[in-house]
Structure 1
Amino acid sequence: MKEIEFRFKSPKDSPGYLLGQVTMLWQRKLKIVLDPLDLTQTQFVLMAALGWLSKKSNTVTQVDIANQSNADRMMVSKVLRTLEKKKFISRQEHQTDTRAKVIKLTVEGADVLQKALSAVENADIDFFSILGNKLSSFNQSLANLTEQNKVE
């Protein structure tokens, strides 16, 4: 059998491997705090994007949510349908664009989102506390990676 060659000497030298490990652990932590609210992490991310965008505009569309969350448009559509069935959001016809739907949080959705934001923010503070005063530069590095690797 041919010997497999790795570029990195160990998994701990691979940034992709480490990012994957941290992501899985962080997602597990979020699942623990989001399950009681009947939300998945993806549902939370899309609701948070909607909440954020709604602060600036009364006509938030599925495309706006997909762009804000760097998510696939088809996946966003499916998840928003699920959130609508849960009565967390409403989807209405756009006044000028017949292809678009305006997405709004319902009263129940806004309440769940506020609870989820508190739970997730507390989980984040706990999870990332090990970084101490390096958190700001860590966040900047993540923002740089996101910006440099966006897929249009």
Structure 2
Amino acid sequence: MSKDEIFGFDKAEDSPGFLLWQVSNLWQREIRKILEPLDLTHAQFVVLAVTYWLECSGVETTQIRISDQAKTDPMSTSTALRTLEGKKMVSRFAHDSDTRAKLVRVTAEGKNLLKVAVREVEAFDERFFAPLGSRRKDFLKGLQGLCDV
């Protein structure tokens, strides 16, 4: 069987999925290097950041809302929140009217850590995505469109 019988393109670089996988791996590897000294996994960082973002937006910050916003599965979100709670970065408590829901708040320690982590992650993002130049806004719109699918 030939390459042409399996793949619908001439070069591997013509596959958007393959390129996304490569870029994602490169980006995630560097993010891990940034977050490791802060004792955060990438999932914990995203959940912490989304939690605080929702909290600042005045939205009722439930685990399911965090999961929806982060586009993570509820079980992974719950695991990350449990770990963050153990690290005293968030506090979770029962919802007043929905016995199934848990509300989440970022603690003072969590806010302090998040401030450092976001500054470092955003600085890296600026460097990593700099080659996009003036195409950055179009790139972001494209990614947002894919998230909405």
| Alpha-carbon offset, residue 7 of structure 1 | 1.3
2:21 aligned partner, one-letter code: G
Aligned to 2:23: 22
Give the unaligned 5+ runs of structure 1: none
Aligned to 1:11: 12
TM-score in terms of structure 2 length = 0.94
What is the correspondence of 1:3-152 to structure 2 with a 5 Å cutoff? Answer: 3=2, 5-57=6-58, 59-148=60-149
Percent of residue pairs identical: 43
| Alpha-carbon offset, residue 36 of structure 1 | 1.2
Q: Secondary structure at the match of 2:148?
A: helix
Query: How much is the aligned-residue C-alpha RMSD, in angstroms?
Result: 1.1
| Alpha-carbon offset, residue 3 of structure 1 | 4.1
**1:18-66 C-alpha deviation (Å, 9 max, x unpaired):** 0000000000111111111111111111111101100122631000100
Provide the C-alpha distance between the structure 2 equivalents of 1:135 and 1:29, rounded to a whole number of angstroms. 20
Q: Secondary structure at the match of 2:85?
A: helix
Q: Which stretch shows the higher mean deviation, 49-58 or 12-21? A: 49-58
Provide the C-alpha distance between the structure 1 equivalents of 2:64 and 2:38, rounded to a whole number of angstroms. 25
Q: Secondary structure at the match of 1:137?
A: helix
TM-score in terms of structure 1 length = 0.93
Provide the C-alpha distance between the structure 1 equivalents of 2:14 and 2:33, rounded to a whole number of angstroms. 29
Q: Secondary structure at the match of 1:9?
A: coil
Provide the C-alpha distance between the structure 2 equivalents of 1:82 and 1:8, rounded to a whole number of angstroms. 44
